[in-house]
Amino acid sequence: MARHIHILSEQTIDQIAAGEVIENPASVVKELFENAVDAGATRIIVEILGGGFQSIRISDDGSGMSDEDAFLCLKRHATSKIRSSDDLIHLYTMGFRGEALASIAAISQLTLNTADQDGRGVEIEVKGGDVISTQPSARPRGTTIEVRSLFYNVPARKKFQKTATASSAEITRVTTLLALAHPHVGVELIQQRKTLFNLRSAAKETSLISLLQNRSAELLGSHFDSHMHSLYCEENGYEMHGLIGDPCLTRYNRSGQYLFVNARPVSCFPLAYAIRDGYGTRVDTSRHPIYVIHAKIDPTLIDVNVHPQKKDIRLREEEGLKVAMRTAVNRALQRSEEPPGFEIQIPSFTLQESENRNFDKEALQIKHDPSVSLVLTECSMSSSCEKQEQFSFVDQTKAVGVFEHYLIVEAQSLPQLISNQANRDGVFWIDLLAAQARILFERLMREQVHPEGPESPKGQGLLLPLTFSCSKAEAEKLLTCLNELKTLGFELRSIGPTVFMVETIPSAVEEREVRDILEALLSSLTDDFDIHSPLEKKIRKCAETICRVSRSRSRTFSLTEALKVFHALIQADDPLHCPQGKPIFYHLKKDQIDDYFHA
């Protein structure tokens, strides 16, 4: 009988292990960077070519390795971090599994150059996990690892990687996180032979909060440089240091939140929620505060072995830690709100009546008769509409009124497209935000088919341009996507390393929403704005984001604004669904109303 079960080859096993640890070039940077930190490095240089697919070179001034250790470190499960399984609950290092170097070497061409004392070292060449050459080298103490042709022998994996541009942006983001996680270590990032940032090292005794203040200002932008409050707490064995943003400095999403546990950047929802709870009612429920927080926790109380890449952690005494974090955030905000010895002086003043009190009160009265037929002027969502003509949709549409972002109209007065013979009674509720998203989506799609048509230009110029500040990693994303954003109606111009001037915005966007929309788009730029992504996908994403941000701000409409949106919606190719496919109209029948009131 034929045998169906067999033992995998060592090469296949190594490539499978590499798939668990190495997702992309940024994973390589993270693993090698943390190895350098564990080696006691005070300065780490990261050099990238071709988004990391061509070359990743990381140099450090750590303890280095002897010839014998240099050979052993390339073997799977070879590590200096632990001796037995008992050590897993007392981890004080970043890496401990001994899989990183072996996994990277299995899917690349790797050069390891290391020395544990000045002047005498060893250089080892590895290809696909096999050592192909060894020679002595003269170098100062430390280690340099160069990874070339990543994924060259696993084409199926390489085919599903992002573009080099997107990979470079991800490497910048990961290196930024690591630089914040280890603020004492000097970090230099060089992409395509251009230095993106060069951070100096600091003495171990330097205050962690002071280091975070300097490093946050350099890496995260000007909004992390002002209106930030120091946080320090040592309670029940937990120690916390960091910076938290003023309640007025909030974001639409969580992109401004940086949490580190024992110097490891982690995703831990219980702690994130505890920080949010610490703000209490100071922050709207739809907004998210910004912060950079380091938490030191006894290693026996956390499990970092949950995820192969150690992105997530599990807490053993979760409730106690959440209480400590919540208390620390609340105290930091209270100190800033009630500074000691500060007294507000309120100057005395008197009110004088205006001499001219004659004005026409009747002119302020706004009268509206919903039974009057509505004849509206066609208004394109573009600010440069050249042609205006009168249009009457059915000439009998009767608006009952507006509630927040919903327009209510009588069902019998709507066009047959929406209200057929089966639902001519009752009223229709129209989601105006979803309607705007549909209008914007179709307008942008038409502009791509007829780029010189009457609806161009694609945005409205701002009389006073807005400034948009972001982190170094976000700035790298924006620089690579300026043309894509211009297609969608946003025109931005770089005026500094992390500052942009917003000169034009889509006409459907309010100025107060620009920052939130750009931050929301930034979080998806790497995926949805990839150069190979279909244009329709990018436009749909932009329309959805604008709609979502408007909802978060509880935007309201006047009756005139609502009717203009409704008029434009009727002209859409699909007025019934938003770009996500969700309904725009809801029919509330008269029978349903009668049933509710038991009529």
The DSSP output letter for 267 is B
* 540-577: pLDDT as tens digits: 777 777 777 766 666 778 888 888 888 888 888 888 88
Of the pLDDT bands very low, low, confident and very high (cuts 50, 70, 90), residue 457 is very low
Give the distance, in angstroms, between the CA of residue 391 and the centroid of all CA atoms in the same chain: 43
- Most confident of the following: 320-329, 350-359, 377-386, 410-419: 320-329
* 323-374: pLDDT as tens digits: 888 989 998 888 766 544 444 444 444 444 444 444 444 433 434 444 333 3
Tokens of 397: 């549409």
What's the mean pLDDT in 398-415?
A: 82
454 pLDDT higher than 80:
no
pLDDT for the residue 256:
87
Cβ atoms of residues 458 and 384 within 8 Å = no
Lowest mean pLDDT among 23-27, 61-65, 212-216, 387-391: 387-391
Cβ atoms of residues 90 and 183 within 8 Å = no
pLDDT for the residue 347:
46
Measured distance CA(164)–CA(451) in Å, rounded: 29
The 10 Å Cβ neighbour count of residue 343 is 5
For residue 162, the SS3 value is coil
pLDDT for the residue 386:
34
* 195-214: pLDDT as tens digits: 999 999 988 778 899 999 99
Higher-confidence residue of 388 and 577: namely 577
Intrachain domains 208-336 and 367-599 with the same fold: no
pLDDT for the residue 578:
84
pLDDT for the residue 60:
94
Which three-class secondary structure string do you get for 494-560? ECCCCEEEEEEECCCCCHHHHHHHHHHHHCCHHHHCCCCCCHHHHHHHHHHHHHHHHHHCCCCCCHH
Which residues, in sequence order, are bridge partners of residue 574?
none
Where does residue 331 rank: exposed (0-12), middle (13-18), buried (19+ CB within 10 A)?
middle
Residues in the chain: 599
452 pLDDT higher than 60:
no
298 pLDDT higher than 60:
yes
pLDDT for the residue 362:
42
What's the mean pLDDT in 398-418?
A: 79
Of the pLDDT bands very low, low, confident and very high (cuts 50, 70, 90), residue 17 is low
487 pLDDT higher than 60:
yes
Taking the complete model, does pTM exceed 0.85, yes or no? no
Amino acid letter for position 301: L
Amino acid letter for position 311: K
pLDDT for the residue 158:
81
Instruction: Report residue 230: phi and psi, to 5°.
Output: -75, 140
Q: CA 25, 480, 192, 106: dihedral to nearest 10 degrees?
A: 10
pLDDT for the residue 142:
93
478 pLDDT higher than 80:
yes
The label of the residue with tokens 């409730």 reads: 319
Measured distance CA(151)–CA(159) in Å, rounded: 9
107 pLDDT higher than 70:
yes
Of the pLDDT bands very low, low, confident and very high (cuts 50, 70, 90), residue 391 is very low
Cβ atoms of residues 99 and 17 within 8 Å = yes
Amino acid letter for position 38: D
The label of the residue with tokens 């096993």 reads: 13
What's the mean pLDDT in 398-405?
A: 84
* 136-188: pLDDT as tens digits: 998 999 999 999 999 888 887 788 788 888 889 889 999 999 999 999 999 99
Which three-class secondary structure string do you get for 172-219? HHHHHHHHHHCCCCEEEEEECCEEEEEECCCCCCCCHHHHHHHHHHHH
* 223-246: pLDDT as tens digits: 787 778 999 888 777 888 999 999
- Most confident of the following: 65-69, 72-76, 99-103: 65-69
pLDDT for the residue 382:
37
Task: Please name which of 534, 490, 484 lies closest in space to residue 509, comparing C-alpha atoms.
Answer: 490
Of the pLDDT bands very low, low, confident and very high (cuts 50, 70, 90), residue 189 is very high
Task: Please name which of 310, 30, 57 lies closest in space to residue 172, comparing C-alpha atoms.
Answer: 30
The label of the residue with tokens 């244009």 reads: 535
Taking CA atoms, 319 is separated from 231, 263, 278, 325, 589, in Å, by 20, 21, 14, 10, 49
Locate the domains of the chain by residue range. Answer: 10-199, 208-336, 367-599
- Most confident of the following: 75-89, 159-173, 510-524: 159-173
CATH of domain 10-199: 3.30.565.10
pLDDT for the residue 14:
62
| Average model confidence (pLDDT) across the chain | 77
- Most confident of the following: 16-20, 296-300, 380-384, 394-398: 296-300
What's the mean pLDDT in 123-132?
A: 91
509 pLDDT higher than 80:
no
Which residues, in sequence order, are bridge partners of residue 162?
none
pLDDT for the residue 564:
86
Superfamily per CATH, domain 367-599 = MutL, C-terminal domain, regulatory subdomain (3.30.1370.100)
Cβ atoms of residues 53 and 260 within 8 Å = no
Question: CATH fold of 208-336, please?
Answer: Ribosomal Protein S5; domain 2 (3.30.230)
Higher-confidence residue of 495 and 186: namely 186
For residue 15, the SS3 value is helix
For residue 284, the SS3 value is coil
456 pLDDT higher than 70:
no
Pairing mode of beta strands 406-410, 399-403: antiparallel
Higher-confidence residue of 95 and 275: namely 275
Peptide bond into 340 cis (omega under 30): no
